[in-house]
Structure 1
Amino acid sequence: MNLEHHFASLGEAFSSKTLIQPLLEQRLVEFNQSLATFLSIDIKSAETKRILSGEEAVPSSLSMVYAGHQFGGFSPQLGDGRGVLIGEVRGQNGFLYDLHMKGAGPTPYSRRGDGRAVLRSCIREYLASEALTSLSVPSSRALALYDSREAVYREVPEAGAMLLRVAEGHIRFGHFEYFFYQGKQTELNQLIEYCLKHYYPDCLATDSPLENMLIEVVKRTARMVAKWQAIGFQHGVMNTDNFSFTGETIDYGPYGFMEDYEPDWVCNHSDHEGRYAFSRQPGVGLWNLNCLMRCFSKHLERDQLIAILQCYEPELQAHYDSLMMKKMGLSLVADLHELLPALFSILAAEKMDYTVFFRLLSHMDQGGSSLLLDEIIDREKLSAWLKRYELARLKGGLAWSEVSRSMLAVNPKFILRNYLAHDAILAAEQGDYLPFRRLLNVLTYPFDEHPESDMLAQRAPEWGKSLEVSCSS
């Protein structure tokens, strides 16, 4: 494994040297071999095993410092309170990827915390990051999961664990906020140059490198949020320190995949005001970008920054429209805009399962809608909508069966339902990782039928719908 240390070269103002502190009797219980192959990491190498687990110290490993707006309030100094950046490795595409360990022990930014993670949260992040990746949503990914016999205290004692994550970058909006509000202009300029060089090198060849980089950040963020909305994913804690400068989904905590369609659904039971409710995510994305743009007020004129921000809504709407047209097999955006509000009204009134509906719509025969009608109470209303939908779908001129195949390729049969994660966690806490691996398999290939795992596509039982997830997860 060829580790590089580019972020570490920025110096002490950006991070603190921190070593992974292995857990008591820790074990490697899951390893992402396909991702490892892409990164040219050989887990069979004894040295690689020691480095990744923290048993062999990496002198240049570090924890990052940053700030952030958390639930609307500004925290001037945060940082990796339980994370260690081991270094960077190159993928087969030539790009650099961070290796970042969650739950690695206390750091200078732990704020009196223990710096640890519990098995529960590591399993949830492993499953969610791989699920989103399989649904074509930019995301950090899980490379390795370690459990242990070490007790970590939250509401109750739990099994300690570590999760090795991979991402294009772990630089957050909060990194820029930290240096801007600290008045550290030199360091802010260093960070800008670093991001241009490592994440947005194409912008360096333009007349306005910073301006073009920020436009791309805005557009990547818009596309990420559009994808969340299209698949029914809620992040749960959209603080600026949880937003990636590279447009990847990071920092999985109290996330959720929507089951019954509820536009104002809140998955995080600690979010009492519903700040990060599902329907509010697009607006929060823009709010976060506005916070980011303030950090460049000494580099660009106000009108330039406003123009950059104005790229967000058209990009998000266009990408969301494209995704939803594919989900519904439509060819005209005008038909989508006519049909979608009425459909969402029906789904909300019926509390219809979001994923199940679109999967059944993909299987719908021309002129036949009995399976969908069997799912709801107001059959007349849905029947009328389906007739309008069928006419709109036929406008594309493609064979019905061909459109159905394309819809099945974008409407998953399997999503990470909260109760499934809960069951997998309970089994793993007893040492049984088979439910976790079965669930991971269908989430990795969510569009396949997997008839042997049909039970994992079923709606949540009533007890499963009431499970609560908080930031401590």
Structure 2
Amino acid sequence: MDPPLFSRDFFRPPLWHDWGEGFVRQTRCEGLPEPQWGLWNSTLAQELGLPEAPTQEASAYFSGNGPQMPWCSAYAGHQFGLWAGLLGDGRAHTLGRIPAGNQEIQLKGAGMTPYSRRGDGRAVLRSSLREYLGSEAMAGLGIPTTRALALMTSHLPVRRETRETAAVVARVAPSFLRFGHVEHLAWHGFPTELKRLLDLLMVFHYPEARHQPNPVLSVLEEVVERTAHLMAAWQSVGFCHGVMNTDNMSLLGLTLDYGPFAFLDRFDPQFIGNHSDQEGRYAYDQQPWIGAWNCAVLGSALSALIDDEKGIQVVLGRYNTLFATSLLNRFRRKLGLQQALPGDQPLVDTLLSLLHQNRADFTRFFRFLAQDAVQTEPARLEEEEEFQGPSPWTEWVRDYQERCAREEGSALARAQGMRAINPKYVLRTYLAELAIRQAQQGDFAMARNLESVLRTPCDEHPEFSSWALAPPDWAGALTLSCSS
């Protein structure tokens, strides 16, 4: 029988809780003084067997004021391409697993941990709300991600670039294990724990790998595949992570750690979402390559357990093909193309070039293309002022129309399918900023409405149609950094 909700024994220990001080430490949260509810994800809560409405008991746990001793893990990583050594959960406390779905719940911002280094272990309302909305926006788009369950606020002052107030976001995932966990155990002399980590991954997340001739190599192969598909998913919706360090890469292929992320407005392949990234290492067009680079680092860290260098290189070598195929298939669906024909890649490449040259809004373009009239009269694209620029669309529109004619099914059915996958709404940076400004005044109405709209981003939501417009001019001045 499961223990009562939010009793002392409600959270089961994480699967890695007994791996010794080289990997995990227990420590109490500092918690938030006088915590207040900001957001409670009632939809996710019900999926997890938790109350639809937040309770007083939940408030204590999700503000870091519960009676339990959470767990914090050590990990390492490469940050901006350089080895950073020991890192770890500097402001994350894992409460444990909950019975429903065997999901881990982790608090971010509940105070210092043994791995805080010179940090204060806190998170501010601004970054916490962005993570909450960002992860739920990605879930609404069907992209693998950690989830957000709760957001707690406090008047506790926290100093970043300016004086802000503290917050804690409770996030959920089957596991928060990262590439960096493997790196830490491999390069800091914990071979037994590294083997246990791979055994855990195989038992709970990659069970088919256990039956392969080289099980650890099979795990690497699956992680490489998931990472390639994840990068394709990001690119297809114009998502820019901002800090793709190896310690921010999930071993389960989830979008992890929402810092200076952004969704593209006007299409720019070299868009840099993080103004701390002065070299543009994590720009939009670099994300696929960085995914491959991070997988190579993971392969190197696992080499002692695999003992098959040629096999590792073969697995890593599949990344580019997996990514390219996955991305092309996603763009086919965005264009309403069900068949795979030889000329599809040039059609997509030309389109992306035109989007860039004409500074067209990425999300709005594909949504516009999905309208019934466009499917029957593609030349209308030339008449739309927001898509006009130095490069005419005439030739591409003709090629696209000819390509659509080779598809089975009606134009109406094609448009309906396109509207089902091309979002009308994404979490644009300026929308998050407006929600943050209101939340800082104690008003979470816009944040709750955004959460609701982003849960079904392809629906019309006519009462919020202004959120689907191109961003206002002032949005161009917004910048994001690693503290975002």
Instruction: Please say whether Structure 1 and Structure 2 have the same fold, judged by a TM-score greater than 0.5.
Output: yes
Q: Counterparts of 2:65 and 2:380 in 1: how far apart (Å)?
A: 59
Which residue, out of 6, 16, 21, partners 1:7? 16
Which position in structure 1 is the counterpart of 2:163? 157
Which position in structure 2 is the counterpart of 1:19? 28
Cα deviation digits, residues 172-205 of structure 1 (max 9, x gap): 1011111111122112112111221222123223
1:54 aligns with 2:40: no
Which position in structure 1 is the counterpart of 2:200? 194
Which position in structure 2 is the counterpart of 1:269? 275
Residue 218 (structure 1) shift = 0.6
1:397 aligns with 2:408: yes
Map 1:235-274 to 2 at 5 A.
235-274=241-280
What code does the residue aligned with 2:321 have? Answer: P
SS in 1 for 2:342: helix
Which position in structure 2 is the counterpart of 1:426? 437
Cα separation, partners in 2 of 1:201 and 1:4, compared to 1, 3 Å? farther
Which position in structure 2 is the counterpart of 1:410? 421
Residue 379 (structure 1) shift = 8.5
1:440 aligns with 2:451: yes
1:307 aligns with 2:318: no
Cα deviation digits, residues 26-69 of structure 1 (max 9, x gap): 1122111111111112365654443333322213x111100000
Which position in structure 2 is the counterpart of 1:285? 291
What code does the residue aligned with 2:39 have? Answer: E
Q: Counterparts of 1:371 and 1:392 in 2: how far apart (Å)?
A: 16
Cα separation, partners in 2 of 1:306 and 1:380, compared to 1, 3 Å? closer
Q: Counterparts of 1:239 and 1:137 in 2: how far apart (Å)?
A: 19
Which position in structure 1 is the counterpart of 2:357? 349
Which position in structure 1 is the counterpart of 2:44? 35
Which position in structure 2 is the counterpart of 1:205? 211
SS in 2 for 1:148: strand
What code does the residue aligned with 1:315 have? Answer: L
Q: Counterparts of 2:391 and 2:238 in 1: how far apart (Å)?
A: 26
Which position in structure 1 is the counterpart of 2:461? 450
SS in 2 for 1:369: helix
Which residue, out of 92, 97, 107, partners 1:101? 107
What code does the residue aligned with 2:367 have? Answer: R
1:63 aligns with 2:64: no
Cα separation, partners in 2 of 1:368 and 1:220, compared to 1, 3 Å? closer
The question of whether the paired residues in 2 share the 8 Å contact of 1:266 and 1:276 is answered with: yes
Q: Which runs of 5+ in 2 are unaligned?
A: none
Cα separation, partners in 2 of 1:359 and 1:419, compared to 1, 3 Å? same
Q: Counterparts of 1:83 and 1:114 in 2: how far apart (Å)?
A: 11
Q: Which runs of 5+ in 1 are unaligned?
A: none
What code does the residue aligned with 1:383 have? Answer: T
SS in 1 for 2:83: strand
Q: Counterparts of 2:201 and 2:98 in 1: how far apart (Å)?
A: 17
Cα deviation digits, residues 188-246 of structure 1 (max 9, x gap): 11211122122212322333321211111110111111100111000000000000001
Which position in structure 2 is the counterpart of 1:324? 331
Which residue, out of 92, 95, 118, partners 1:86? 95
SS in 1 for 2:349: helix
1:226 aligns with 2:237: no
Cα separation, partners in 2 of 1:419 and 1:321, compared to 1, 3 Å? same
Residue 376 (structure 1) shift = 3.0
The question of whether the paired residues in 2 share the 8 Å contact of 1:261 and 1:351 is answered with: yes
What code does the residue aligned with 1:284 have? Answer: I
Residue 107 (structure 1) shift = 0.7
Q: Counterparts of 1:369 and 1:16 in 2: how far apart (Å)?
A: 62
Cα separation, partners in 2 of 1:13 and 1:163, compared to 1, 3 Å? same
Residue 114 (structure 1) shift = 0.8
SS in 2 for 1:296: helix
Q: Counterparts of 1:440 and 1:45 in 2: how far apart (Å)?
A: 20
SS in 2 for 1:295: helix
Residue 380 (structure 1) shift = 7.6
Which position in structure 1 is the counterpart of 2:472? 461
Identity fraction in percent: 38
Cα deviation digits, residues 8-35 of structure 1 (max 9, x gap): 1323221111222221211122111111
Cα separation, partners in 2 of 1:110 and 1:328, compared to 1, 3 Å? same
Residue 368 (structure 1) shift = 4.1
Cα deviation digits, residues 372-394 of structure 1 (max 9, x gap): 53133358821221111011012
The question of whether the paired residues in 1 share the 8 Å contact of 2:40 and 2:54 is answered with: no
Q: Counterparts of 2:56 and 2:123 in 1: how far apart (Å)?
A: 25
What code does the residue aligned with 2:434 have? Answer: D
Residue 302 (structure 1) shift = 0.7
Cα deviation digits, residues 284-309 of structure 1 (max 9, x gap): 00000010011122222110110111
Residue 311 (structure 1) shift = 2.2
What code does the residue aligned with 1:117 have? Answer: A
Q: Mean alpha-carbon deviation: is it higher for 156-165 or for 458-467?
A: 458-467
The question of whether the paired residues in 2 share the 8 Å contact of 1:329 and 1:406 is answered with: yes
Which position in structure 2 is the counterpart of 1:146? 152
Which position in structure 1 is the counterpart of 2:377? 367
Map 1:372-387 to 2 at 5 A.
373-374=383-384, 375-378=386-389, 381-387=392-398
Which position in structure 1 is the counterpart of 2:343? 335
Aligned length: 469
The question of whether the paired residues in 1 share the 8 Å contact of 2:149 and 2:172 is answered with: yes
The question of whether the paired residues in 2 share the 8 Å contact of 1:257 and 1:415 is answered with: yes
The question of whether the paired residues in 2 share the 8 Å contact of 1:67 and 1:178 is answered with: yes
Q: Counterparts of 1:133 and 1:12 in 2: how far apart (Å)?
A: 34
